[in-house]
Amino acid sequence: MDPFSQLILTISVTSFFTFQWLFHKVSPWMSMRISPGFVNLSDKQKVEWNSRTVSTFHALLVGLFCLYILFFDDAVNEDPVWGDPTLVKTNVAITTGYLISDLLLIFYYWKAIGDNFFVIHHLAALYAYYYVLGQGMLPYFANFRLLAEFSTPCVNQRWFFEVLGYPKSSPPNMANGVAMAVVFFMVRIAVIPVYYGRMYAVYGTEAFYLVPWGGRVAWIGSSICLDIMNVMWMHKIARGCYKVLRSAQKNKIKALQENGNRTKIYCSNEGNNIQNVKGG
């Protein structure tokens, strides 16, 4: 094994143990001090809370690293199939450690956070990352896919508000809901033409045919499946966001009308009192 491969393996293993430490030690300690409602949660809710806290940290770390690569890694941007994958491998190694850590937690705490969809998602991602880490191919596309992680914090925050008892119409919940819809659209839907534009540009080239069939399946097949799901999720998120905003607007109008009626009644009563005083 060459020194760089050993470094990537070390990063993956370190990432695994770091995320385990964050789940078991850091998240409970930090959550009790930041959110008093944490201590009142059930054991199952605490497990999911810690899982989502770790998920948020991973999403921000990997997402920011992904943006740096996208803007400043010229080798990857100029050759999206076989460009120097050094930084991308590092980022993917962090994610690989996280995915394995999360899979372990899912199986161990299955009654609390078990989900067949997430198991399939994690295994499919690890299969795709094998080609990036093992053969250094498709660095641009692997990195571009990690942009989707930016939508994770808002999704997790929505669950935090829900389990803490925040009404859907509360200002923090509504602000997060709008942010979730906007960010989800930007990093999962608006980027689709750019992603497939780059894919079309390299399709049929010599670099493309150097990618083995397994790599092409992991690349093209998984991309299409993920984007179909992203469009479906975006539709649900947009509908939910619209309903909440519509309901909040109706409640606001209703409150203004009720205040207006109270004002009219008050003014009417005051007028009657004045007339009675004059009459007396």
Q: Which tens digit of pLDDT belongs to each residue from 190-245?
A: 999 999 999 999 999 999 999 999 999 889 988 888 899 899 989 998 988 888 77
Q: Which tens digit of pLDDT belongs to each residue from 35-85?
A: 989 999 999 999 999 999 999 999 999 999 999 999 999 999 999 999 999
> What is the rounded CA–CA span in Å between residue 236 and residue 240?
6
Report whether pLDDT(266) > 70.
no
Quote the pLDDT of residue 229. Answer: 86
- By the 8 A CB rule, do 159 and 230 touch? no
pLDDT bin (cut points 50, 70, 90) of residue 105 is very high
Four-CA torsion 242, 245, 251, 255, nearest 10 degrees: -150
Note the pTM of the prediction, 2 decimals.
0.85
Quote the pLDDT of residue 207. Answer: 93
pLDDT bin (cut points 50, 70, 90) of residue 5 is confident
- By the 8 A CB rule, do 129 and 142 touch? yes
- By the 8 A CB rule, do 192 and 94 touch? no
Q: What is the mean pLDDT of residues 4-16?
A: 92
> What is the rounded CA–CA span in Å between residue 250 and residue 257?
10
pLDDT bin (cut points 50, 70, 90) of residue 3 is low
> What is the rounded CA–CA span in Å between residue 264 and residue 149?
52
Quote the pLDDT of residue 272. Answer: 58
The full DSSP string for 28-65 is HHHHHHH-GGGGGS-HHHHHHHHHHHHHHHHHHHHHHH
Looking at residue 102, what DSSP letter applies?
H
Nearest one of 60, 88, 55, 53 to 72, comparing CA atoms: 88
% of the chain residues with pLDDT over 90: 66
Quote the pLDDT of residue 257. Answer: 66
